Amino acid sequence: MLPFMALRTVSLVSLFGLVLTAETPRPLVLWHGLGDSAISEGMLEFAAEITTVHPGIFIHSVYIEEDIDKDRQAGFYGNVNEQVQLVSEQIAAISELEGGFDAIGFSQGGQFLRAYVERYNSPPVHNLITFGSQHMGIDDIPVCKPRDFLCQIARRATKAGVYGSWAQENLVQAQYFRDPANLAAYYSSNTFLTSINNEIAETRNETYASNLASLNKLVLIIFTEDKTVVPKESSWFGSEVVGDDQLAYGPQRVLAPGRTLVSMREQPLYQEDWIGLRELDERGGVEFLVCEGAHMQIHDCWEDIVREFAG
């Protein structure tokens, strides 16, 4: 295992023996997903693969905790608003990123990077690429792997009181849990997803919209067999409605009895352009891409995307 302090200080450019030149590609920031860490074997291997596509690229993998196990734990437990602020300070302190960078977020890391863009964006993001991210939240808690006890504990705690004040301050998944059958509780208790989606009229922030619209490209990637993100269309800003709310959208989008899918361009968030998504889309800045397979089973899907939209 490579030492974390080396990764934090010089990022991955020196770890792979690369030399920055005037022709160096635009830097890249990575934010890992749930159950992973900044310097896990998988993240280091992915960064190494990127350097074969863009030789000389500077890559920084963001972290919440320096210890690898604590960093993984922070993906389950913590206050997301505070984590995003911490990462904004981390990014601002890295001189190689001061001219701007591209960013790739895996699963929840993608929506956290979007929060960075909307709230801070200094230094600015050029292209934001999100793999299987929960942009409209989740309305079910995914089942954990049999021996992933950390995940199992977090899942039980989240399901037991998802909209309680403790869960909304301390359980990461609870902070992007959006129950279409209980939106009143979601609106009144959630302070992360409602914020970055500008869903509360009284606190709507115009800076979020202008910052997101400043992106060159927002690349939204969905996994065809995703059972972790529910609904999987959240990766494309889709969400579900239930009950009387279905009447506004018509039967052609019914996923199952009592559940209807609302696509990105049908969302009030889009139609009223609460976060600048419509402005970005109408000028051709939103890309909808597909990876075949289950959640985060990227395989060879990443290379063409990284070649075109990163570096």
User: 194-201 long-range contacts, Cβ below 8 Å, gap at least 24?
Assistant: 195/81, 195/115, 196/111, 196/114, 196/115, 196/118, 196/119, 196/275, 197/135, 197/136, 197/269, 197/274, 197/275, 198/269, 198/274, 198/275, 199/269, 199/274
Three-state secondary structure call for residue 259: strand
What is the per-residue burial (b if ≥16 Cβ within 10 Å, else e) of 51-85?
Answer: beebeebbbbbbbbbeebeebbbbbbebbbbebbe
Yes or no: say if 123 and 100 are a contact pair by the CB < 8 Å rule.
yes
pLDDT average, residue stretch 117-136? 98
Catalytic residue, candidates 36, 71, 102, 226: 226
Closest listed residue to residue 197, CA positions, set 237, 243, 166, 257: 237
Three-state secondary structure call for residue 129: strand
Q: What is the pLDDT of residues 260-305, one digit of tens each?
A: 899 999 999 999 999 999 999 999 999 999 999 999 989 999 999 9
- The pLDDT of residue 189: 97
Q: Which amino acid is at 140?
A: D
Q: Is the pLDDT of residue 20 over 80?
A: no
- The pLDDT of residue 64: 98
Catalytic residue, candidates 37, 88, 107, 189: 107
Whether 226 is catalytic is yes
- The pLDDT of residue 152: 77
Residue 225: which pLDDT band, with cuts at 50, 70 and 90?
very high
Strands 286-291 and 259-262, how do they pair?
A: unpaired
- The pLDDT of residue 11: 44
Residue whose token pair is 């597909």: 290
Q: Which amino acid is at 12?
A: L
Residue 5: which pLDDT band, with cuts at 50, 70 and 90?
very low
What is the per-residue burial (b if ≥16 Cβ within 10 Å, else e) of 279-298?
Answer: ebbeeebbbebebeeebbeb
On average, the pLDDT of the chain sits at: 88
- The pLDDT of residue 148: 79
Yes or no: say if 39 and 115 are a contact pair by the CB < 8 Å rule.
no
- The pLDDT of residue 260: 85
CB atoms within 10 A of CB 264: 21
Yes or no: say if 134 and 175 are a contact pair by the CB < 8 Å rule.
no
Higher pLDDT, 246 or 28: 28
Residue 143: which pLDDT band, with cuts at 50, 70 and 90?
low
Q: Is the pLDDT of residue 149 over 60?
A: yes
The rounded percent of the chain whose pLDDT value lies above 70 is 85
Q: Which amino acid is at 115?
A: A
Q: Domains of the chain (ranges plus CATH)?
A: 4-233+243-249+265-309 (3.40.50.1820)
Whether 263 is catalytic is no
Q: What is the pLDDT of residues 34-90, one digit of tens each?
A: 999 999 999 999 999 999 999 999 999 999 999 999 999 999 999 999 999 999 999
Whether 295 is catalytic is yes
